[in-house]
Structure 1
Amino acid sequence: MQENETELMLRGYGLTTAEMFYRMPDYRNVLNTFIWQEYDLAPDHPKLFRFIEYWQDEIEGPLHSVRFTHRKMLSSGEWQNVVGEFTYH
């Protein structure tokens, strides 16, 4: 079952964005970039490192470097379930 973004954030996940620089398979002197984004757990980042391992095992373009950032957008203490709403004019 796929969890939605709010459920992941309440469980401590944050949005991890990685920019991968890799060498073109046929032109080793040419660098290209690939952007990867997923909800992941800091500081271990298991999904990011699993993707990097997959890249190294399955993709021909060898990685030159990886730059990433992690943003925890919501914690369990910051979220409130709103039951009602009223409008004031």
Structure 2
Amino acid sequence: MDRSETEMMLKGYGLTTAEFFYRMPDYKNVLNSFVWQDYDLAPDHPNLFGFIEFWQESIEGQLHSVRFSHRRMLSSGQWRNVVGEFTIH
């Protein structure tokens, strides 16, 4: 079941951005980078670590390092339900 971004943010998800540095087997002296972004739960980051496991099992490029940041987009104190709307002409 796909959840909307708003539902995920209200459940505590935040935007995680990771930069992967890796080397390809044919060019070991070249350090490449790849940027990955997804909504994830801190501090365990199950989506990020799941992607790292996928990378190590399925992609030929050997990981050199991973740098990531996490930012909660919305907290419970910042959101309030507004019932009603006023239209001004």
Partners of 1:82 and 1:34 lie apart in 2 by: 40
Deviation at 1:57, TM superposition (A): 0.9
Partner residue, 1:83: 83
Partners of 2:51 and 2:25 lie apart in 1 by: 19
Partner residue, 2:59: 59
Partner residue, 1:42: 42
Deviations 1:36-84 (CA, angstroms, capped at 9, x unpaired): 0010000110110110011011100000100000000101222112221
Give TM-score scaled by structure 1 length.
0.92
**Whose strand fraction is larger, Structure 1's or Structure 2's?**
2
Partner residue, 1:4: 4
Q: What percent identity do the matched residue pairs reach?
A: 76
Segments of 4+ moved more than 6 angstroms: none
Aligned partner of residue 29 in structure 2, secondary structure: coil
Deviation at 1:87, TM superposition (A): 4.7
Partner residue, 1:30: 30
Flag structure 1 segments of 5+ consecutive residues without an equivalent: none
Give TM-score scaled by structure 2 length.
0.92
Partners of 1:73 and 1:48 lie apart in 2 by: 17
Root mean square deviation, CA, Å: 1.3
- Equivalent pairs counted in the alignment come to 89
Flag structure 2 segments of 5+ consecutive residues without an equivalent: none
Amino acid at match of 1:79: W
